[in-house]
Amino acid sequence: MADEDKQSPLKEVPFFPFFPWMHTAADMWLNLLKAMPSNPDTSIMTQTAVQSRFTRQLDTSLNLLKSFSRMMSEPESASAAANSFNALPEILMKMAKSGFDAAMQIQNHLVEKAGNIGKRTEVYNFENLDQDVFKALSDVYEKEFRQYFKIPPLGLTRFYQERFNEMLDKHNIFETMLAEFFSILYLPIEKSFKVFQEKLQQMAEEGNLPQEAKECYAIWIKILEGHYISLFKSKEYTDTLHRTLNTLEDFIIVRNRMLEDFLQMLPVVTQKEMEELYKEFHVLKKRVKELEKQLNISPNTLTVVK
């Protein structure tokens, strides 16, 4: 019984019926190869030296396959393989869980914080804004996604890949920052409606409710303007504005670098090359003007139209 088991170890690992199949297939191809005529005069082998190299290569590959299938047919190897394949669903589950966790983290932050935007600040006051939701987004991006863009690329095209990844990274950062900037810009609208409603309520209680929509609009736009003026003078707004501008600039700089890579493949000049030319041109013009001055030649004599 034990011998039987040794002779057919795959009975214990029925999940891998392809190991004996691999073994048989390798044997078949090797036999076929051996059956090929070895006479250099035959039609196949005489064609080119390349074909002969191909046959040798095929021979080596099939021998490797045969060894591999033989090794995999050993009970220890098959058992190890079976274990690893058994663990596959677990690995996949872990990967999926990690992804779900990240998604849930984002969602939780959004649900918790989105409702709070603007709630913690008073009307006409834009200090200590609750922008945690955007910090949460940035954190999630930093922890869960950004590392993929930071993996060092390898090989001949590594610099091109690096610049492309950097562009995607900076674009994502800019998008997050832009969302924060727009949310701040929206705050005065939200707050102005709140003040406007209170004002209308007060007017209604006093019996002075505006009879025309235009009057209501005039009241609201004045409240809105006041809120914007307060916002624009706040340090929070100025900081966000500058950070947005900085992330936009970061993105444009790396995007231009990446575009230069593409342009270099085309028969056109790049921006960098033109900048260098413009600078040289500018310096030369200055020198010519200086020389004109020294020689008492008025530039007007060259440029007057009428």
Partner 1 sequence: MSSTKIPLDLILEKMAEDAEKAQQRVTKASEILQGQLNYEIASTPYEIVYEEDRIKIKHYFRNDNAENKLKAPLLVVYALINRETMLDLQPDRSVVKTFLEGGIDLYMVDWGYPTRKDHFLTIDDHVNGYMNNIIDFIRKKHNVPKINLMGICMGGSFSVMYSALHPDKIKNLITTVTPSSFDTDRGLLHIWMKDVDVDRMIQTFGNIPGDLMNLGFLLLNPARLMIDKYVSFMENMDNKDFVENFVRMERWIFDSPDIPGETFRQFIEDCYKRNLLIQSKMFLGGERVDLKKLTMPLLNFFGEYDHLVPPQACNQLSGAVGSKDVEDVCLETGHIGIYVSSKFQKLFAPKIVQWLKERDKV
Angle at 214 between CA 208 and CA 217, to 5 degrees: 85
Instruction: Tell me how long the chain is.
Output: 306
- Which residue, 69 or 180, has its beta carbon nearer to partner 1? 180
**Cβ neighbours of residue 189 closer than 8 Å, sequence gap 6 or more:** 224
CB of 109 to partner 1, least distance (A): 28
- Which residue, 82 or 219, has its beta carbon nearer to partner 1? 219
- Interacting residue ranges for partner 1, rule: CB under 8 A: 185, 188, 204-205, 207, 209, 211-213, 217, 221, 224-225, 228-229, 232-233, 238, 241-242, 245-246, 248-249, 252-253, 271, 274-275, 278-279, 281-282, 289, 298-300, 303-306
- Which residue, 102 or 179, has its beta carbon nearer to partner 1? 179
Q: Which two tokens stand for residue 65?
A: 């396959």
CB of 204 to partner 1, least distance (A): 6
CB of 117 to partner 1, least distance (A): 18
**Position 263, amino acid:** L
8-state DSSP, 40: T
CB of 303 to partner 1, least distance (A): 5
- Which residue, 74 or 290, has its beta carbon nearer to partner 1? 290
CB of 305 to partner 1, least distance (A): 5
Q: How far apart are CA 287 and CA 91, in angstroms?
A: 70
Is the distance from CB of 136 to CB of 113 less than 8 angstroms?
yes
Q: How far apart are CA 191 and CA 4, in angstroms?
A: 83
